[in-house]
Amino acid sequence: MATEDLPALSDLTGRRATRREFLVKSSILGALGPLGLAACGADESERKPGGSAASNVGVGPDAGPATAVRNADSKLDTGGHANIHQATAVPTKAPSTTFRRFDPALPPVARERTTRLQFTAQEHPIRISDDTVISAWTFGGDTPGPVVHVKQGDTVEFTLANEGSIPHSMDFHAAQIDPKVAFRSVMPGQPVSYTFRARFPGAFLYHCGTSPVLMHIGSGMVGAVIVDPPSPLPAAKEFVLVESEYYLGAAKGGVLPFDYTKMLATLPDYVVFNGRPSQYMTAPIKVKVGDRVRFYVVNAGPTHPCNFHVVGEQFDTVYLGAPPDLPLRGIQTFGVAPGGGLVFEMLADVPGEFVFVNHGFGHGQKGAIGILSVEA
């Protein structure tokens, strides 16, 4: 978060004007039409879509012609001492967009002890369901942004390029660093770079911290950094779920803008895991009987807790401190604070279809729901 003072409510007029400009720009994108669920159900294919490392940034390349994500991860093994996560080059004025399931699989941990991240702040339309496109603010063209996976003690060299139309910034909850300098807002066209070390293991949020933070978090500029402890946790199938609330205004040119006034009214239209309402209902997360399953649940909010629960299951472990510290046993539901993250584990010893939800149903029912399919 930048250290500049947050605006009084009376400042919003100006802020809205800025946002409206963006909306005007977004609306130029025109009628997007229902392009269908291109990747819907393509559970496995999306994880290795033309390259082994796509899952490493948490966003697979899209089959659509206009949203080709450049996959810089091919450099992974040849990049010397550093991993490079690059989520850039998505044309801001994509003429259309297709639905794409967000891969929930935790990408492999960085091989090197320094990870280079090159993120781009982009205002970008995203199809979140068959009939809904939102004009999101993003890191790399999607919300949430790329999942970053490092090890305690690792160094992260980060650069943000601002390809948007307003100031943006990056606030890593995994970092201990002077935010006035590192998390400062940068104007369009200006980059900001900094380096931090991941001191504690856990599931950490990152987000744009530009004022008003509520608007920047609420418009999609969020993501997760997973930091492994020195001694690995028990072997498990690992998934990342970033919960976000969406507050949307009236459609313009077929695209729904985010609505700051609604954010302040705290009644979301959607509450989603990994950016799309109920995406894992139609394309479940799949594991095998006997697997240990670990969910890294990061709650971007901006406002409500994520009361995480798996129907038909109990967590044998919720790490309340830095994993593996303070394991809670036998937990049905535990609240993840907005701006927080917790690690949930269960043993998938029963086959079946287990629905995971935010059990605060007044909000959670608006899309924070998916299926964990445990196959025999």
DSSP state of 368: -
Please return the burial class of 365, using the count of CB atoms within 10 Å of its CB with bins 0-12, 13-18 and 19+. middle
Query: At closest approach, how far in Å is the CB of 302 from its own copies?
Result: 4
For residue 23, give the DSSP letter: H
Sole residue written with tokens 């990049």 = 79
To its own copies, the closest distance from the beta carbon of 93 in angstroms equals 29
Query: Where do we find the tokens 């991941």?
Result: 198
Of 66 and 337, which has the nearer Cβ to its own copies? 337
DSSP state of 54: G
In a 3-state reduction of DSSP, which class is residue 364? Answer: helix
Q: Per CB under 8 A, does 307 bind its own copies?
A: yes
Structure tokens at 195: 């380096």
Q: What are phi and psi of 263, to 5 degrees?
A: -60, -40
- Interface residues for its own copies in 135-174 (CB under 8 A)? 171, 173-174
Residue 267 interacts with its own copies (CB under 8 A): yes or no: yes
Query: Measured from the CB of residue 241, what is the shortest distance to its own copies in angstroms?
Result: 16
Which position among 59, 84, 205, 208 is part of the footprint of its own copies (CB under 8 A)? Answer: 205
Q: How far is the CB of 88 from its own copies (least distance, A)?
A: 25
Q: Which one, of 11, 139, 118, 142, lies nearest residue 64 by Cα?
A: 142
Residue closer to its own copies (CB basis): 66 or 267: 267
Nearer to its own copies, 111 or 180 (CB): 180
Interface residue with its own copies, options 11, 265, 290, 375 (CB under 8 A): 265
Shortest Cβ 204–its own copies spacing (Å): 6
CB of 173 to its own copies, least distance (A): 4
- 337: contact with its own copies by CB under 8 A: yes
Which residue from 20, 48, 180, 288 is in contact with its own copies, where contact means CB under 8 A? 180
| Backbone conformation region of residue 278, classed left if phi is above 0, alpha if psi is from -120 to 50, else beta | left
Measured in whole angstroms, the distance separating CA 306 from the mean position of its chain's CA atoms is: 14
9, 66, 161, 375: which one binds its own copies (CB under 8 A): 9
Residues 106-135 that bind its own copies (CB under 8 A): none
| Per-residue contact flags (x/-) with its own copies for residues 208 to 247, judged by CB under 8 A | -x--xxx--xx-----------------------------
Question: Cβ contacts of residue 362 below 8 Å, gap of 6+?
Answer: none
C-alpha 160: how far from chain center: 16
CB 210 within 8 A of CB 185: yes
Nearest-approach distance from CB 68 to its own copies, in angstroms = 31
Identity of the residue, 71 or 299, whose beta carbon is nearer to its own copies in the bound complex: 299
Pick from 204, 246, 273, 296 the residue near its own copies by CB under 8 A. Answer: 204
Contact flag: residue 175 with its own copies (CB under 8 A): yes
Binding-site size for its own copies (CB under 8 A) equals: 86
Gap between the Cα atoms of 298 and 289, Å rounded: 25
Q: Does 281 interact with its own copies (rule: CB under 8 A)? A: yes
Q: Is 361 in the site for its own copies (CB under 8 A)?
A: yes
Should residue 187 be labelled a site residue for its own copies when binding is judged by CB under 8 A?
no
Question: Which parts of 309-328 interact with its own copies (CB under 8 A)?
Answer: 309, 311-314, 316, 320-322, 325-328
Quick check: helix, strand or coil at residue 10? helix
Helix (H, G, I), strand (E, B) or coil at 187: coil
Query: What DSSP character marks residue 93?
Result: T
Give exposure, 17-33, as e/b (b: 16+ Cβ within 10 Å).
eebeebbeebbebeebe
